Amino acid sequence: MPRVAIVSDTHVPSRERAVPDWVGDELERADHVIHAGDFDSQRAYDRITALANGNLTAVRGNTDPPTLEVPHTDTLEIGGVTFAVTHGAGSPASWRQRVVETARIEATTADPVAVAGHTHEVVDTTVDGLRVLNPGSATGAAPADRATMYVATVVDGDLTVEVRTE
C-alpha cells in the first residue's frame, strides 16, 4: 500500500523560515512525495528532496527561481493511479478549469488525478469528471489560515486522501 505525501506552496524563505517539522516527518514516512510548486528557493527544494529520500515528483510554481530545474508539469503512476501535477498559476477564478485542462493534456490516461497548488486552499473535488486535489500550503502561507498537506494511500487503483495539519 504505497503512501504518498502531497504538498505545495512551502514558500521558504519568502513567507516561512523552514518546512515545519511535522511536515518533514510525513515526507520522510512517505514512499513518494509530490510537490505542486512554489518551493521559493533552491534550499527549500533541496531540503524536500532530502526528506523524500529522492522519491520526489515536483513542478515549478510561479514564485520559484528560474534556476530551479523542475518541469512546469509532470505525471506519474503509483499503484494504478495516474497523477497529473501542475502548479495551476493564474487567476483563482479559473483555477479549477485550468488544472483539469492541464491534467487532460499531460496525462496518458483518461482519468488522472489532477494535483495542483497556487491558491493555498485545501481542495478535494471533482471537476468535469476528474478528481482535483490541492493540499493547501505546507507552511500555512497566507491566505491559508493553517499549514496543511495530504497523505494518500493507493490500494488496487483506489486512492484514499487525508488532510493533515499540525
Q: Where are the domains of the chain?
A: 3-165
- Output helix, strand, coil percentages for the chain, rounded to the nearest 5: 20, 35, 45
Task: Tell me which residue of 74, 86, 11, 89 sits closest to 48, measured CA to CA.
Answer: 11
In order of 21, 87, 98, 102, 121, the CA distances from 92 in angstroms are 29, 12, 10, 15, 10
Q: At 102, list the grid cell.
A: 492541464
Cα 116 from Cα 27, distance rounded (Å): 17
| pLDDT value of position 110 | 85
| pLDDT value of position 1 | 85
Task: Tell me which residue of 91, 24, 83, 81 sits closest to 52, measured CA to CA.
Answer: 24
Query: Once rounded to an integer, what is the mean pLDDT over residues 62-78?
Result: 96
Which 3 state secondary structure label does DSSP give 65? coil
Q: At 103, list the grid cell.
A: 491534467
pLDDT per residue as tens digits for the range 99-133:
999 999 999 888 999 999 999 999 999 999 999 99
Judged against a pLDDT cut of 90, whether residue 34 lies above it is answered with yes
Judged against a pLDDT cut of 90, whether residue 96 lies above it is answered with yes
Q: How confident is the model at residue 166 (pLDDT cuts 50, 70, 90)?
A: confident
pTM of the model: 0.96
Q: Which of 13-17, 104-108, 132-136, 154-158 has the highest mean predicted lDDT (pLDDT)?
A: 132-136
One-letter amino acid at 116 equals A
| pLDDT value of position 31 | 97
CATH of domain 3-165: 3.60.21.10
Question: Hunting for cell 518541469 — which residue is that?
Answer: 71
Judged against a pLDDT cut of 90, whether residue 92 lies above it is answered with no
